[in-house]
């Protein structure tokens, strides 16, 4: 066994969150804990969309300090690692499991779960689950928002990088990402460097949402300029409805009234982070962009990944309860109403809830900063995993 080798496993269910979380974690474990990390991933092409330096067809490659290997059923370990992180219960290949079961000292095995603010997470985080037919045990690692959970992914120096970037940006140019951050294929800011503008910069990274056409309409008819950046492929049905089929391509913009919509090609996670940092309001979704919006410490709106039996509604309510603790009125009601309307099935109340929500960006910004600072007092997720491993050596 290689003393510092960790294997992280991930299968893409859909979208980018599974690969995105695994990639951030793998990179952080390698960079900050000097570990020899292999990420086993079944769809490298998905990750290559947000990490353009990757070869989507290679079975094995090394990139940014991590070995990336294609995960398929033939995957097996020549040499077992010290620690296995199974992402989101994705299952380990049979050959790999057999080898682990046959080993006198099998790797420490974590199952990294999905993020939830629900209170039950505190009670189950870290529990051991012995496998029924094999003498193996895995430990459930639940990301979360309290000291009884596995924490959140947060790399060292993140807040310093954020604040340094914003200070530099406000001294030198409007709060927009630089053109070279926009990813392959252009789509950078149409603004001249140094120009200062009024109005709002928004990022819209959400799932299909019925609230959008009416919200676009309200923004276009409002009394302030709104520049809304959408990653390519997001909200296309809503754009199609609102623009009567004339949907802009990646790198293009379209302006209606006070609203300018800009379609942005996908970029690296770092460039995406900078986009969130520099925005006045971030609509985010799923798991990873949701966490990054909290680290951006700006007003934001979260759309959880839609799940069967409305499980996402419980997740949404649990997070809103935690996040809004201590938030004074009228910001509290404005946030609850707007988030609720945006996440409602028909979305009809969203546009009407916008003015009250817009009016509380000041207090929401201060609250977001305090929330991020408080969360950052907890150990980050990678450090927690490493510490648990050390405690068992
Ligand atoms: O893509 P998502 O909808 O992923 C979802 C969720 O993780 C959900 O919980 C899971 O069940 C489902 O996938 C299968 O949203 P999320 O989690 O925000 O992930 C997006 C990733 O893409 C995140 O790592 C940020 C990254 N990204 C970039 O790096 N560059 C970009 O330009 C954009 C738009 C995103």
Alpha helices in 243-360 (DSSP H): 269-277, 288-296, 311-323, 331-343, 350-358
pLDDT in tens, 39-69: 999 999 999 999 999 999 999 999 999 999 9
Residue 162 and residue 21 share a domain = no
Residue 50 and residue 176 share a domain = no
Q: Name the domain count of the chain.
A: 2
Residue 251 and residue 146 share a domain = no
- To the query of whether residue 380 is one of the catalytic residues in this protein, the response is no
Q: Is the CB of 285 under 6 A from ligand 1?
A: yes
Q: Is the CB of 287 under 6 A from ligand 1?
A: yes
Q: In terms of residue numbers, what domain contains 317?
A: 158-375
What pLDDT is recorded for position 170? 83
> Mean per-residue pLDDT for 327-332?
98
Residue 230 and residue 181 share a domain = yes
pLDDT in tens, 271-284: 999 999 999 999 99
Residue 91 has pLDDT above 50, yes or no: yes
> Mean per-residue pLDDT for 85-97?
95
Residue 130 and residue 186 share a domain = no
> Mean per-residue pLDDT for 86-105?
94
Mutate to test the pocket of ligand 1, among 10, 12, 20 (most ligand atoms within 8 A of CB): 20
Q: Residue 188 — very low, low, confident or very high, per pLDDT cuts 50/70/90?
A: very low
pLDDT in tens, 223-271: 999 999 999 999 999 999 999 999 999 999 999 999 999 999 999 999 9
Residue 254 and residue 180 share a domain = yes
What pLDDT is recorded for position 392? 87
Residue 335 has pLDDT above 60, yes or no: yes
Q: Whose CA is nearest to atom 6 of ligand 1?
A: 286
What pLDDT is recorded for position 182? 40
Q: In what order do the strands lie in the sheet with 137-141?
A: 60-63, 66-70, 36-41, 5-10, 83-87, 108-112, 137-141, 128-130
Rg of the chain over all Cα atoms, to the nearest angstrom: 22
**Domain of residue 134, CATH code:** 3.40.50
Residue 218 has pLDDT above 50, yes or no: yes
What pLDDT is recorded for position 169? 85
Kind and range of the H or E element at 86? strand 83-87
Supply angle C-alpha 182, 183, 188, rounded to 5: 25
Angstrom distance (rounded) from CA 175 to CA 92 = 44
DSSP conformational letter for 27: H
Catalytic residue among 18, 51, 177, 181: 18
């Amino acid at each position: 066994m290689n003393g510092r080798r960790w294997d992280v496993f991930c299968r893409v269910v859909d979208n980018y969150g599974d690969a995105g979380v695994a990639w951030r974690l793998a990179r952080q474990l390698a960079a900050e804990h000097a570990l020899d990390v292999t990420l086993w991933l079944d769809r490298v092409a998905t990750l290559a969309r947000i990490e353009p330096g990757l070869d989507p067809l290679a079975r094995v490659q090394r990139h940014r300090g991590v070995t990336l290997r294609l995960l398929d059923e033939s995957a097996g370990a020549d040499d077992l690692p010290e620690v296995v992180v199974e992402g989101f219960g994705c299952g380990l290949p049979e050959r790999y499991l057999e080898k682990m079961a046959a080993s006198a000292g099998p790797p420490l095995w974590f199952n990294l779960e999905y993020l939830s603010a629900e209170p039950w997470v505190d009670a189950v985080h870290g529990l051991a689950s012995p496998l029924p037919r094999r003498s193996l045990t895995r430990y459930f690692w639940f990301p979360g928002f309290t000291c009884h959970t596995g924490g959140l992914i947060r790399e060292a120096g993140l807040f310093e990088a954020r604040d340094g970037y914003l200070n530099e940006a406000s001294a030198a140019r409007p709060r927009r990402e630089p053109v070279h951050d926009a990813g392959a294929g252009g789509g950078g800011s149409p603004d001249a460097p140094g120009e200062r503008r009024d109005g709002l910069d928004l990022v819209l990274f959400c799932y299909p949402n019925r609230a959008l056409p009416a919200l676009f309409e309200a923004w276009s008819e409002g009394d302030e300029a709104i520049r809304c950046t959408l990653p390519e492929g997001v909200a296309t049905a809503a754009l199609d409805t609102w623009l009567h089929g004339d949907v802009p391509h990646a790198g293009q913009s379209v302006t209606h009234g006070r609203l300018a919509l800009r379609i942005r090609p996908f970029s690296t996670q770092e460039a995406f982070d900078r986009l969130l940092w520099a925005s006045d309001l971030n609509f985010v979704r799923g798991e990873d962009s949701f966490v990054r919006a909290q680290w951006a410490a700006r007003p934001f709106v979260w759309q959880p990944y839609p799940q069967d039996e409305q499980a996402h509604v419980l997740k949404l309510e649990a997070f809103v309860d935690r996040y809004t603790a201590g938030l004074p009125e009228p910001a509290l009601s404005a946030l609850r109403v707007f988030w609720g309307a945006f996440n409602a099935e028909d979305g009809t109340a969203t546009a009407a809830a916008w003015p009250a929500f817009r009016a509380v960006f000041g207090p929401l910004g201060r609250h977001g900063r305090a929330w991020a600072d408080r969360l950052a007092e907890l150990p980050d997720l990678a450090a927690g995993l490493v510490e648990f491993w050390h405690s068992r050596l």
